[in-house]
Amino acid sequence: LGSEFTSTFYRAMTLMVAASPCAVIISTPAAVLSAIASGGRQGVLFKGGEHVEAAANIDAVAFDKTGTLTQGDTQLTDVFVRETAADSLTDEGLLSLATAVQARSEHHLARATVAAAEERSLDVPDARRFQSVAGKGVCADVEASTIHIGNRSYFETVLGDAAVKGLEPGLDRLQTLEAEGKTSVIVAREDGGDVTVLGWLAFTDTVRPGAAEMIGELRELGVEHIVMLTGDNERVAQRIADEVGIDEVQAELLPEEKVATIEDLVDRHENVAMVGDGVNDAPALATATLGIAMGGAGTDVALDTADVVLMGDDLSKIPYVLGLGRATRRTLIVNLAIAFGAIALMVGTILLRGIPLPLAVVGHEGSTVLVSLNGLRLLGFRG
Ligand code: ADP
Ligand code: MG
């Protein structure tokens, strides 16, 4: 436009240095990689930067009960034989029949049963034709009959059309035990088509220390809704929910129902985190916006499907994860403001009156260093 070449060329060079977006580009990785490294030091494994960003927006959190809110060290607490059950069946007799079947199962109630029998050094008969119904119960042939072990739904829906002797009092007793916060199952024997309730087994599991504080911290972080999802009974679940301060309980869920509940939560709250440990939690972990698995207690499938793994099973790391996400987002906003701000300021000045090239270099490199340092501050994030 008729301007003198040397000064115009100099100004164009200055503009290109000032406007090149190094600081903008480095803003995000500087913050996100620092956040991932900081998580690593705290025993929190993020499987990617996008999960740090997802953690910033979580509005609702769903927890599995067994193994997540509780320690998963289920213990058999009581063995009850139904008075009119049979010919001199003792507590130990009932336990050894149940153990014969449960020796074939991987379930935590099964492991607790087997452990209790081992502790009492019981003789356990062999079992054949083991079958399990997910979320309901198990059965197998022991000696000359079939032993069934399960919850209300097992006896009502699986054994549906067989008239079970003693089922009414059996279910009443189950309800009383559950009201005490004990996860309980009915043991029954099937002989030539007749099913008779033999007794009950009751179990407890301890709530992880710090669970209630963790829920409180989530609320302070602005999480609107906290839900428990469990395959266990409603009464037992409600007791634990009350103890730790959870809003909503969804009990007696099958794995696919856990997924449906998460989908429903996503509809209502948009960004939902799911925390779980079991095989039956894996589909729900995959469906949630952010899947968090308990690394120590967790099964391989859960660890594989999750986006974040808590290496030490430390529940207090859940508020840490959400807090880190939020801190990372704040850092990103500040970084982008610094980066775009520096560019806008320099470009504006260059267009209006020009600045010396060395100053543009200092401004360009300076803002890049500044956003990197600001990102690195996240390395010190402690929650
Ligand atoms: P959770 O992990 O919360 O116990 P599950 O879906 O694994 O959830 O089991 C739900 C319920 O199904 C148990 O609480 C129990 O009543 C019954 N159940 C499942 N497997 C067994 C088993 N091996 N023995 C007895 N009951 C079982
Ligand atoms: Mg579990």
CB 232 less than 6 A from any atom of ligand 1: yes
197, two tokens: 């309730």
Q: Which residues of the chain have pLDDT under 70?
A: 85-87
For ligand 2, the distance from its centroid to the CA atom of residue 83, given in whole angstroms, is 34
If phi > 0 it is left, if psi is from -120 to 50 it is alpha, else beta; for residue 218 that is alpha
The confidence score (pLDDT) of residue 208 equals 92
- 363 within 8 A of 21, measured Cβ to Cβ: no
In ligand 1, the atom with minimum distance to the C-alpha of 65 is: 3
- Which protein residue has the closest C-alpha to ligand 1 atom 7? 135
The confidence score (pLDDT) of residue 166 equals 87
DSSP 2-68: ---HHHHHHHHHHHHHHH--HHHHHHHHHHHHHHHHHHHHTTEEES-HHHHHHHTT--EEEEEIIII
Q: How far apart are CA 80 and CA 383, in angstroms?
A: 47
Q: Using one digit for the tens of pLDDT, what is the confidence trace for 29-85?
A: 999 999 999 999 999 999 999 999 999 999 999 999 998 999 888 999 999 999 875
For ligand 2, the distance from its centroid to the CA atom of residue 286, given in whole angstroms, is 15
**From the CA of 66, which ligand is nearest?**
2
Q: Bridge-partner residues for 225, per DSSP?
A: 60
CB 280 less than 6 A from any atom of ligand 1: yes
For ligand 1, the distance from its centroid to the CA atom of residue 107, given in whole angstroms, is 7
Residue list, CB under 5 A from ion ligand 2 = 64, 66-67, 277-278
3-state secondary structure of 333: helix
The amino acid sitting at 72 is: G
Closest CA to 211 of 302, 289, 318: 318
- 355 within 8 A of 12, measured Cβ to Cβ: no
Active site residue 64: yes
Question: Among all chains, which residue has been given the structure tokens 């129902």?
Answer: 257
**pTM for the predicted model, two decimal places:** 0.85
For ligand 1, the distance from its centroid to the CA atom of residue 127, given in whole angstroms, is 19
The confidence score (pLDDT) of residue 297 equals 77
The confidence score (pLDDT) of residue 85 equals 59
Best residue among 139, 232, 236, 250 to mutate for probing ligand 1, ranked by most atoms within 8 Å of CB: 232
Residue 232 belongs to what H/E stretch? none
CB 65 less than 6 A from any atom of ligand 1: yes
- Which protein residue has the closest C-alpha to ligand 1 atom 14? 232
- 318 within 8 A of 275, measured Cβ to Cβ: yes
- 342 within 8 A of 24, measured Cβ to Cβ: no
Strands 290-294, 308-310: parallel, antiparallel or unpaired by DSSP?
parallel
The confidence score (pLDDT) of residue 127 equals 94
The confidence score (pLDDT) of residue 86 equals 61
